[in-house]
Amino acid sequence: MTMFRRIDHIEITPVDFDRSISFYTDVLGFKGRSRITVDVHPIRDIIFLELGDTTLELLDIEGAADLPSDGPYVGYRMMAIEVENMDEALAYLEGKGVRASLEPRETGGGSRRAEIKDPDGFSIELRQL
């Protein structure tokens, strides 16, 4: 019996809620599933975004602090998004003003990976299998 089945969602607290919604929907193609205004201080709004069978939950939290800017930190490291064609995906993103923070490289087994950052500096891996 498998007790744990899958990751239900990933939760991110951005500094600028609307800017992050635009990035994930307009640039990466996530679709809005639902948005809830919450009256539970310090949370103001929650939006659920979907890409395929993956859900991303963005929380609008009053007083959210920026990510540390120097070196690795404890906590969220990155999410990975599968792309069909790495070169096409990176060219598309560059056209949207999003540059690779880690250039594409072979990872063994025939796959390639690159990284970008969202508006708050969260790393997003792009993986071509």
- In the chain, where are the structural domains located? 1-64, 77-129
Is residue 120 within 8 Å of residue 114, measured between CB atoms?
A: no
Question: Which architecture, in CATH terms, is 77-129?
Answer: Roll (3.10)
| Nearest to 13, CA basis, from 63, 74, 80 | 63
Q: What are phi and psi of 94, to 5 degrees?
A: -60, -40
pLDDT of amino acid 73: 67
State pLDDT tens for residues 58-94: 999 998 877 777 776 666 778 999 999 999 999 999 9
Q: What is the mean pLDDT of the chain?
A: 91
Q: What is the CATH number of domain 1-64?
A: 3.10.180.10
pLDDT of residue 109: 84
- Give CA–CA dist 98/52, Å, rounded: 22
50 has pLDDT over 70 = yes
Q: Per-residue pLDDT tens for 1-13?
A: 677 788 889 999 9
Identical fold between 1-64 and 77-129: yes
The tokens for 104 are 């594409």
Cβ of 100: how many Cβ atoms within 10 Å?
16
